[in-house]
Amino acid sequence: MQHWFIDTDINPLPTWQEAMPKARFLRRDQLAAIPDGRQGVIWCRLRSGESLDSLVQSVFTCANGKPLILLCDEPEEWLTMEALSAGAAGCCNTNAAPEVLKQVALVVSNGGLWVGQSLLQRLVGSTSRALGEKAERPPRDDWSTLLSERETQVARLVAGGASNKEIAGQLAITERTVKAHLTAIFEKLSLRDRLQLSLRINGLSL
């Protein structure tokens, strides 16, 4: 899959190049070089002190259906929410490690949203609490028949807002094992990310 990195100048960070060796790097005035029909992911840098509004009318409107990820020099949760509202598929730190960038790309290219770990935990936890307060009856758990006992335990903990590290500690397994269980859970339940999993488990239709 093709990746395009958009910045005020063509000076890519080494971490971007390591994560996406075949990516193209463009200035904002070169957006026309991105083909309309080709699949791919657009990464756009929001520099320190820059307003998100300055990008909405230019880069966002030229995405042509491709997922767009905002790379923020100064990432904040409120900025992530504004970016998602403007049409972005994700928001992460400009200086994120190559492994993180690859994970972000995998999530958004499969139709998911990337909001960052801290905000994701808040959203999942808030969803769980809100649904728990409003529920007049326990949510259906027919989803659990598709999972193993351990996968069910992991899924319930994710739906409660637990991080991979917290799940690993509670179940006495490694974080790598937690990730493996999550991969299997997403596949078996035809879900894309943790937020969708939380909604499914807490009885809210997707």
**CA atoms within 13 A of residue 136's CA, in its CB half-sphere:** 0
User: Residue 38's pLDDT is what?
Assistant: 65
Q: Which residue has the tokens 């078996």?
A: 188
pLDDT per residue as tens digits for the range 87-107: 788 888 999 999 989 988 888
Q: Who has greater pLDDT, 106 or 127?
A: 106
Q: What is the pTM of this model?
A: 0.58
Q: Look at residues 78, 95, 115 and tell me which one is the last residue of a structural domain.
A: 115
Confidence class of residue 206 from pLDDT cuts 50, 70 and 90? very low
User: Residue 66's pLDDT is what?
Assistant: 85
Q: Look at residues 62, 90, 115 and tell me which one is the last residue of a structural domain.
A: 115
Residues 98 and 171 in one domain: no
104 is a domain residue: yes
Residues 107 and 165 in one domain: no
Residues 84 and 123 in one domain: no
**Which residues have a Cβ under 8 Å from the Cβ of 190 and sit 6 or more positions away?**
none
What's the average model confidence in pLDDT over 131-160?
Answer: 74
Residues 20 and 95 in one domain: yes
149 is a domain residue: yes
pLDDT at 138 over 70: no
67 is a domain residue: yes
29 is a domain residue: yes
Please tell me whether residue 40 adopts helix, strand or coil conformation.
strand
Residues 90 and 192 in one domain: no
- Angle, CA of 5, 21 and 84, to the nearest 5°: 35
pLDDT at 124 over 80: no
Please tell me what DSSP assigns to residue 64. Answer: T
What's the average model confidence in pLDDT over 63-83?
Answer: 82
Confidence class of residue 52 from pLDDT cuts 50, 70 and 90? confident
Phi, psi (5° rounding) for residue 59?
A: -65, -45
Phi, psi (5° rounding) for residue 40?
A: 165, -175
What's the average model confidence in pLDDT over 7-21?
Answer: 92
196 is a domain residue: yes
Domain count, the chain: 2
Q: CATH number, domain at 7?
A: 3.40.50.2300
Residues 101 and 125 in one domain: no
Q: Nearest Cα to 94, choosing from 30, 53, 44, 34?
A: 44
Residues 130 and 189 in one domain: yes
206 is a domain residue: no
**Across the chain, how many H-helices and E-strands are there?**
9, 5
Confidence class of residue 205 from pLDDT cuts 50, 70 and 90? very low
Q: Who has greater pLDDT, 118 or 10?
A: 10
Confidence class of residue 122 from pLDDT cuts 50, 70 and 90? low
Residues 70 and 129 in one domain: no
Residues 12 and 104 in one domain: yes
Domain with 107, as residue range(s), is 2-115
